[in-house]
Amino acid sequence: MADLSTNFIGIKSPNPFWLASAPPTDKAYNVIRAFEAGWGGVVWKTLGLDPPVVNVSSRYGAVQWNGQRMAGLNNIELISDRPLRVNLDEIRQVKRDWPDRAMVVSLMVPCDEESWKYILPMVEDTGADGVELNFGCPHGMSERGMGSAVGQVPEYIQMVAAWVKQYSKLPCIVKLTPNITDVRYPARAAKAGGTDAVSLINTINSITTIDLDLMAPTPTVDGKGTHGGYCGPAVRPIALNMVAEIARDPITHGLPISAIGGIGTWRDAAEFIALGAGTVQVCTAAMHYGFRIVDDMISGLSHWMDSKGYKTIEDFRGKAIGNVTDWKYLNLKYDIKARINQDLCIKCGLCHIACEDTSHQAITAERDGKRLFEVVDAECVGCNLCMHVCPVDDCITMERVDDASFQNWTTHPNNPMSQKA
């Protein structure tokens, strides 16, 4: 079996699957159950200063799509509402009992030096492996000058990261907000501040649904609602892009990344690791299906690695980064055409409808009075839409038909900048 053990900025764990800072890591009871189930580590739910915050009821809203529950989850829960000392005592005991598991503590305190200087020694005293600075929470705490209110200002990120490195010997992970135009700038600031790693993405600012009877956003609190943090499978493509942007940025290239965002299967994890992530953090999937899902993640990743000949995580970590590029460098001469396997085709016509109404009218609908769908190569631009709408796996495939020549936009005659060059 493949070796899934990880050493992330000096924090060791038996596998790369960590639980993210969230309700599943709110107390010792949950974390112990998670470790018993096989999770490699946890990021303890975000701690703040006493007196604890006050949370509301209810706290979650969800997007149901195409019969799937919780395709996206919205939460308006704040950081831990338990006393700081209680959390610290439990962290100390759990780490003592489970020394081989990663124990990272998420922190969010006011953006002043004394607050960070005060809390860091107490966390370090627990024996925790590292701290994660929560600069991502987009609701509640951000209105108090914390969370994403810090994460949206690169200068603040750099300043706080520098304080943390000054007042603590623990490895530091800066958790980035996706609620920003270009994630590279906060990542660069975190690196400039001396952080050991970044984690991303935190939740996306959102209103998931409107209750049309109450005429209020969900979750609804006594007839009112507010924006919250969006997570779950629906955000994974956004997270993949942001991880890739940091991984391939010349300034932050090589900065260790703990990936977060819609991870629920071994394949999700493998995709983030291929983009350079050293660990992956899971939340919504665990809340949906329970802690035992880590069994499938571990076995699935192990079997896939065995099939590919990868002995360790490092054997494939970052292998996809070099193939992520800007549009202008894509090969304009590359040409593919759709091919329909008539033996697999169930004659539903979805490919024809999609192409006829919204694409390039490249799929004919009938021949000799029989229901038959065929591709017109002269009209097909290889957009892949028909393949994506087809309900039968491998019925529609794409075939390369060009002569393997190459030209991108930087040298194309239609590009006025290439003419100047």
Dihedral angle sign, alpha carbons of residues 183, 186, 188, 191 = negative
Catalytic residue selected from 111, 137, 283, 351? 137
Q: Which residue has the tokens 């890591």?
A: 25
Angle between helix axes 28-37 and 84-97 (nearest 10 degrees) is 20
Helix (H) or strand (E) holding 216: strand 216-218
Q: How many Cα atoms occupy the beta-carbon half-sphere of 300 within 13 Å?
A: 15
* Pair of tokens at residue 91: 């962290």
Separation between Cα atoms, residue 197 and residue 257, nearest integer Å: 6
Q: Maximum Cα–Cα distance for the chain, whole Å?
A: 81
* Pair of tokens at residue 6: 């990880």
Catalytic annotation present for 386:
no
Closest CA to 71 of 228, 208, 179, 260: 208
Closest CA to 317 of 3, 100, 103: 3
Closest CA to 4 of 78, 83, 100: 100
Separation between Cα atoms, residue 143 and residue 135, nearest integer Å: 13
Residues in the chain: 421
List residues with catalytic annotation.
137
